[in-house]
Amino acid sequence: MAISRIGLNELEAALAVARRGSFRQAAIELNVSTSALSTTIAKLEAAIDTRLFNRTTRSVSLTEAGILYLQQVGPALENMRAALGEVRTRHAEPAGVLRINAFASAARSALLPLMLDFLQRYPKVHIDLVTEGRLVDIVADGFDLGLRARNLVPADMIVLPLGQAQRYAIVASPAYLNTHGRPASPADLLNHPCIRIRLPNGGIYPWHLEKDGEHIKLEVNGQLTLDDASVVKAALKAGAGLGLLMEQDVQEELDARQLERVLQDWTPPRQELCLYYPNRRNPSATLKAFIDLAREHARGEQ
């Protein structure tokens, strides 16, 4: 076998033996016989005129030349695998299940239009969306993608901004405000019944307000503690007091004048929303297509 005729099979075989430290274990990994693997390695060593392995009846180890050779071949082979995977991905048709984790308000405002567009383009894909308030490890929990505010995305993830900044709104029903008046400052909130929000970890969410560089964290008072935005909205429309919700969660009620904002200058835009996913050399055709479409949507919003 001339050097020019050495193929991927021979290189994969040498790497497997080096990785396993055993011809038998490497043969099992490669699904070939031990004798066939031994013959492949022998031909490779003959082609390069260099012994790569020291063999005894009990062990296999790399020679100094073998160490040097495989240090060079290993990364090159990984690059070849990545290139082949990229080619396969580009020509494969998106199909199968795409699992996404997000919190509910972001899913409604930013993710739903993107998902519906994606499913229309790729009818063989099924999207499994899980919405929850708690932060999860998307890799450990088997998700392909996550959607969170940028400051909540783990540092080791690839981030794709969607261009939609998050913003809170302090709201109440017109009837409540007509009867009890409108708070003129954050301190006035302590004199109003406010609906408290219970977090997934059991804690109570403090109201974070900001204006001109001044940051205030309020532990509001109220007779109601709730953990679902739709229930909070229903209580607010019934005149139960003041509530803090994501702006996109109450936009419909604001447009219909069922709710009104107060202290709007104390709720500036916060962190932008980002899709995030682990760094994988060969993402599936489905994941790659979704990311490409997300970038297309993000550019359209700029």
The length of the chain is 302
pLDDT in the model for residue 86: 62
Beta bridge partners of 224: none
The stretch 177-198 carries a mean pLDDT of 94
List pLDDT tens digits, range 151-161: 788 888 999 98
Instruction: Provide CB contacts within 8 A for 290, sequence distance 6+.
Output: 94, 98, 118, 144, 145
Distance between CA atoms of 22 and 24, rounded to whole angstroms?
Answer: 5
Q: How many helices (H) and strands (E) does the chain have?
A: 10, 14
* Angle between helical axes of 229-237 and 247-255 (0-180°, round to 10): 30
CA distance 235 to 258: 12
pLDDT in tens, 59-118: 788 888 888 877 887 777 777 766 666 665 555 688 889 999 998 777 877 888 899 999
Residue 163 has pLDDT above 80, yes or no: no
Long-range contacts, stretch 225-229, CB < 8 angstroms, 24+ apart: 225/195, 225/196, 225/197, 225/198, 226/195, 226/196, 226/197, 226/198, 227/197, 227/198, 227/199, 227/200, 229/104, 229/105
What domains can you pick out in the chain, each with its CATH number? 3-91 (1.10.10.10), 96-166+271-301 (3.40.190.10), 168-266 (3.40.190.290)
pLDDT for the residue 300: 65
Rg (CA), the chain: 29
Our measurement of the distance from residue 208's CA atom to the centroid of its chain's CA atoms, rounded to an integer in Å, reads 26
Angle at 280 between CA 271 and CA 76, to 5 degrees: 140
Helix pair 34-48, 8-20: axis angle to 10 deg = 110
Q: 211 and 265 in contact (C-beta within 8 Å)?
A: yes
- Has residue 231 got a pLDDT over 90? yes
Count CB neighbours of 202 within 10 A: 7
State what percent of residues in the chain have pLDDT above 70.
91
Q: What is the pLDDT of residues 103-153, one digit of tens each?
A: 877 787 788 889 999 999 999 999 999 988 778 888 878 899 999 888 788
**pTM assigned to the model:** 0.54
Predicted pLDDT of residue 293: 93
The Cα–Cα gap between 240 and 216 comes to 24
